[in-house]
Amino acid sequence: MKVSRSDLNQLIAVKLHKAGLSKEHADGVADVLVHADMRGIHSHGAMRVEYYAERIAKGGINTTPNFKYEVTGPCTAVFDGDNGVGHVAAKQAMDEAIQMAQTSGIAAVGVRRIGHSGALSYFVRQAAKAGMIGISVCQSDPMVVPFGGSEPYYGTNPIAFAAPSNDDRLLTLDMATTVQAWGKILHARSRNESIPDSWAVDKEGHPTTDPFKVNALLPIAGPKGYGLMMMVDVLSGILLGLPFGNKVSSMYHNLTEYRNLGQFHLVINPAFFTDPVVFRQHISQTMDELNQIKPAPGFEQVLFPGQNNDLIQEEYEQNGIEIVDEIYEYLVSDTVHRNQYDHKDPFAK
In the chain, which ranges are continuous DSSP H helix?
A: 5-19, 23-38, 49-57, 86-104, 121-129, 182-191, 223-236, 276-292, 307-319, 325-332
CA separation for the pair 283, 267 (Å, rounded): 17
Nearest Cα residue to 245 out of 260, 256, 234, 257: 234
Binding to ligand NAI by residue 119, rule CB under 6 A? Answer: yes
**Rg (Cα) of the chain, in Å, rounded?**
20
Which are the contacts of 330, defined by CB distance < 8 A and separation ≥ 6?
Answer: 49, 50
Residues 207-246 within binding reach of ligand NAI (CB under 6 A): none
Region from 60-68, 168-176, 239-247, 252-260 binding ligand NAI, contact rule CB under 6 A = 168-176
CA separation for the pair 29, 36 (Å, rounded): 11
| Catalytic residue flag (residue 116) | yes
Binding to ligand NAI by residue 249, rule CB under 6 A? Answer: no
Binding to ligand NAI by residue 176, rule CB under 6 A? Answer: yes
Closer CB to ligand NAI, residue 308 or residue 339?
A: 308
Region from 9-17, 65-73, 76-84, 115-123 binding ligand NAI, contact rule CB under 6 A = 115-123
Binding to ligand NAI by residue 118, rule CB under 6 A? Answer: yes
User: What would the x/- binding string for ligand NAI be over residues 55 to 94, using CB under 6 A?
Assistant: ----------------------------------------
User: To the nearest whole angstrom, how small is the minimum distance from the Cβ of residue 332 to ligand NAI?
Assistant: 25
CA separation for the pair 292, 23 (Å, rounded): 46
Positions touching ligand NAI (CB under 6 A) are: 41, 43-44, 116-121, 138, 140, 156, 158, 160, 172-176, 180-181, 183-184, 303, 305-309
